[in-house]
Amino acid sequence: MVVPYERVNALIVLANASDMGRVRSLIALLDTEVQRTEGNIHVYYLQHANAAELAKVLNVLPEKQAQGDEAAAGKPAAISKNVQVMADEETNAIIVTASKDDYRVIEDVIKKLDIPRRMVYLEALIMEVDADKTLDLGVEWAAGGTFDDETGILATGFSGAEGFNLISGLDSVDPALPSGYSFGVLKQGIRIGNVVFPNIAAVLRAVKTDTDVNIIATPQILTMDNKKAEISVGENLPFITSQNTTASEQDYTQYEYRDVATKLTITPHINQANTLRLEINTEVVRLKADSAENTPSTFKRTASTTVILNDTDTVVIGGIIGQDATEGEWKIPLLGDIPVLGWLFKTHNSSNRKTNMFIFITPRIIRSPSDAISVTLEKDVEMDKLKTAILKKEEDEARKANSMRITEKGFERLQAGDVESAKNLFRKALQLDPANPYAAMDMGVVYEREGVDDLAIEMYQAVVASGTEAVANVSSDPERTGIPLVQIARENIERLMKKTGR
């Protein structure tokens, strides 16, 4: 008798010894592990390809095979219609449900597609070449004076749109004409009635200015073959879309943020001959110079093209031309309309600007990790040079700042009559920054006080040779405060030359 005991998954057998042996033999034959087949589910872990993209390609194969069966006159298909392919994006793996024979075919296709893809390193230079011609021609008048009894001030004049920009720098003490070709008439102490005009100026200027090249951006990016690379350099600025004010003066202004940037999009395609086909799209959006603060306006330049070139060759695209021409005239009514003499009472301005945009692109095929390392090392060297230049600039600025601080302390000692301490401080300041005009000027003063006129002249000549535009912020002679150092140095040289009889 055999009774099952399910609780412990056992059999209770009641039999004699000979029957028990036969039962044990029978149980041993029946109590064996179930033999499983090899199955039809397979997992392939990808090394280079993207599982989702590759699964789309593999799932199309059975459909293409089915279409080919009808045209192949009964030849068997390489892959059956029952093959299923799924992508596991988390592990970047392909799950294939197929027979052993079908899987061999699928696996062979996967191995051919799962290969390292080449990359392309792209270097670009986007620049604008401007042909900017500006001509300012005209006359500006300015006059001013005080009443004899000093009860008031009277001023009159005529200028262009930007105010008295033509006669900037003119005064009764030290007239200075503006840059460019200028013609000035200066007169002092004119009395009209009981009004004394200390100065009157009429300046004629004809100035032409040219601007050359403006480098907008130099983007660099690394991308895979057949993958779009995009880079954008610029700002995201608010633009007013609607503006309302309620009766209670509450402002309801809505803004829309837009990119004002340089965008470059390149899709490279590498063929087996190591030539490249580049699909290039570029967009340059910039603010106009005369844009209002609350309502900015922009201009946009775009270029789209496809080119074929060899590895490391450079392609140039562009020729986008923008042209702006403006003319303006400011005049005194009636007087400015007089033929010939009317130019004494008006200012004319004209400008003509043409802009060409050029894009230089150099692709470099990255075939192996060693190529990528080589590019990285090259850029590291460039960055090191840039860092060195930045550090040097910062050191120079710090050295100049320290030189100025030491010069200020030396001037304080000079004012206190401690000439020797001031001399040591000025010498140290010049060691830190030999081009420090204030230290050179003050050292010249020290040499004068010591009676060493030759060395004083050398210091003043160094100030003149520097061509500095610095002015005397503080001076022992109050009348020289605000006067350019170069002018003071020239006067000191002339005075010492007369003193020494040279």
Judge contact between 114 and 93, C-beta under 8 A: no
Specify the CATH number of the domain 43-115: 3.30.1370.120
Distance CA 452, CA 454 (A): 6
Cβ neighbours around 92 below 10 Å, total: 16
Residue 92, amino acid: N
Judge contact between 46 and 114, C-beta under 8 A: yes
Distance CA 502, CA 322 (A): 60
Distance CA 453, CA 496 (A): 7
Distance CA 427, CA 336 (A): 58
Residue 409, amino acid: K
End-to-end CA distance of the chain: give it in Å, rounded.
145
Q: What's the pLDDT score for residue 141? A: 61
Q: What b/e sequence results for 474-483 when a residue is b if at least 16 CB atoms lie within 10 Å of its CB, and e otherwise? A: ebeeeebeeb
Q: What's the pLDDT score for residue 181? A: 45
Q: What's the pLDDT score for residue 135? A: 55
State the pTM of this model: 0.50
Q: What's the pLDDT score for residue 208? A: 42
For CATH 1.25.40.10, list the domain ranges present in the chain: 388-500
User: Hunting for tokens 């749109």 — which residue is that?
Assistant: 161
Sign of CA dihedral 14, 19, 21, 22: negative
**Using alpha carbons only, how large is the chain's radius of gyration in Å?**
43
Q: What's the pLDDT score for residue 256? A: 81
For CATH 3.30.1370.120, list the domain ranges present in the chain: 43-115
Judge contact between 420 and 410, C-beta under 8 A: no
Show the low-confidence residues of the chain (pLDDT under 70).
34-39, 62-79, 130-213, 289-295, 318-326, 352-353, 475-477, 502
Q: What is the DSSP letter of 162?
A: T
Q: What b/e sequence results for 448-459 when a residue is b if at least 16 CB atoms lie within 10 Å of its CB, and e otherwise? A: beeeebeebbeb
Cα 410 to chain centroid, rounded: 42
Judge contact between 354 and 321, C-beta under 8 A: yes
Specify the CATH number of the domain 388-500: 1.25.40.10
